[in-house]
Structure formats: structure tokens, C-alpha cells
Homo-oligomer: A and B are copies of this chain.
Amino acid sequence: MNAGTVLERINKGLETLRRSERKVADVVLADPHGVVRMTLAELAETVGVSQPTIVRFANAIGCDGFHDFRIQLAQSVALGIPATQSVIEAEDGTATLVSKIFDFSITSLDHVRRHLDPQALDRAVGAITAASRVVFIGLGASGIVAMDAEQKFPLLGVPCSAPIDTHQQFLAASTSTPSTVLVAISNTGRTASILDTVRVARDRGATVVGITGGPSPLTELSDIALIVESLDNTDVYTPTISRLAQLVVIDTIATMTLLRRGESALGDVREMKTRLAQMRTGLPYQGGADRREEI
């Protein structure tokens, strides 16, 4: 009962509440923003129950008094109202829509942050740091994430590739060795071709890191499974949220790898950043002068 944000907990525990506490829950869910600004007495009046009932409600959903409840609710609201509560509607104005989509994205990231397993992350970083080659594979939205990783990891001194189509992916898996790490990204964890490719890599002794949205065949096939659990997403209008969280997870792995590599890799990254800034604006490569400064 103590996991997740208050709003999630209220939703979850609706059935276990007493009748008048439930009335409180309804009001809170109907207008969380408004409730945040209310005082105990005001909320009691709005709901139509007595003040102690509100306090008992707060305790029931795992808060330590009304004070604590209000603060936790404020935090919940700051992250945006959970997706189940705010559905995108055709009548929404632009500002509302922006609000809803950003809220949804933020809530989703927050959710992943709370449910990510640091130990699995540690092992993934360990494997990648030790690898002679890293292959990222994914299709569709996850393919984008793989490409993003491909941009990132070479900077850390990790040779890597992100083959785009299924054949190229299969090929890369077929040529993998025990020192290869295959990072398979698939939100469903059930995409057939990805699973095939993973099996081949396993057979050849490669270490498989699976990034996926929940327990699935891919989880089973992975040596290291990273569950990046995004929120339910049945709505037609709702954008694909999983890739955002996946990207942040990749960011985290990259940063951890960089930290493990220590100062030597750091110098390279700094130099790269400077060079890139020059290149962007079209200045010619300046050679020695800069090198001395950067290394």
C-alpha cells in the first residue's frame, strides 16, 4: 500500500475504503488540483463529511495525517495526473492538450524511476563495460532508441552498432562472440524477429540485455532483464510513451559506463564536445592548438 503516488494508491484501494471515506476519494480524484489548495475544514465541507473522516481517510491510504496527505497529493499533482485519470478528448484546447501529454510523459517517467531495478542496471553496465562489442537492436519506436544508443556509446570507447532491419540484426547476432553484448529493446517483449535474433546470439554465447515493458518471452531469454514499465496505453490518441523511458534508461547506462571508465574516457568526451561545437558552426578544424588545451 505504500508504493506509488497517492493518486495511484487511492485508485487502488477504492474498494477497501469505508463509505464516507469513499466519498472523500471521489472528490479527491475528481479534482486533485483543487483539493491541494483546500484546508481540512474546506475539504470536509465540500465532501459533506466530518473533519475526522477526512483524517481517517488520509491514514487509510497510507499518509500520516492530513498534513502529510496534502503534501503527498501536491507532489502527485505536480507530476501530472495519472493517465487513467486524464484521457485525451477531441474537445481539448491546445493548452489542455499540451498539459495532458506532458503530464502523461512525466508521470510515466516517474513511474519507471520508482520501479527500475538498480541491481539489474548495475549488471548491465558491468557487461557493457567488459564487452568488446555492443549491438543494439529494436524495431519501430524501439529502433529509434537503439539508434540513439548507437550515437552515444562510441563516445565512451564502447564499439557498437545498431542494425536497422531484421536481416541486418540477425546477421549481427550470427557473428556475435562470447564477448559481445546484445541489447535487445522491445516494449512488448514479444516481437518474433527480435526473439529469433536473441536466440541466435545466446547460442553463440553472447550476453543478452533485454529492455522491455514487462515480464515476457524476451525477459526469459535475457541474461539481464531491465523492466521499463510504462503505464497502460490503450487509448488511440495517447502517444507511444515507452521510448521516452527507454531513452532515459539508456542515458543512465551510458552515464554509469562513463563513470566506471573514469578520467581517461572523460577527456575524450570533453574533447569531442568542443570539436562538435566548432564543427556545427562551420569553423575549420584547428588541430594542435586545441588538442593541447583539451587533453
Contacts and interface: CB of A to CB of B under 8 A. Distances in A.
Interface stretch (A54-62, A93-101, A202-210): A93-101
Contacts of A269: 236
Contacts of A254: 239
A221 interface: no
A140 interface: yes
A88 B255 contact: yes
Interface residues of A, number: 71
Given A71-B36, A75-B77, A118-B95, A251 B105 contact: yes
A252 interface: yes
Nearest to A125: B94
B251 A281 contact: no
Interface stretch (A17-25, A45-53, A175-183, A184-192): A184-192
Contact of A110 (B97, B106, B148, B255): B106
A9 interface: no
A247 interface: yes
A158 interface: no
A99 B75 contact: no
Among A72, A144, A262, chain B packs the most CB atoms within 10 A around the CB of A144
B102 A248 contact: yes
B74 A78 contact: yes
A131 to B, nearest CB: 19
A231 interface: no
A275 interface: no
Contact of A101 (B97, B110, B140, B251): B251
A275 to B, nearest CB: 13
A77 B204 CA distance: 47
A70 interface: yes
Given A98-B121, A237-B258, 6 more contacts: A75-B75, A94-B119, A98-B116, A102-B252, A109-B109, A192-B281
12 contacts: A74-B75, A78-B78, A97-B255, A102-B109, A102-B113, A105-B248, A141-B151, A144-B144, A152-B239, A191-B281, A237-B258, A239-B254
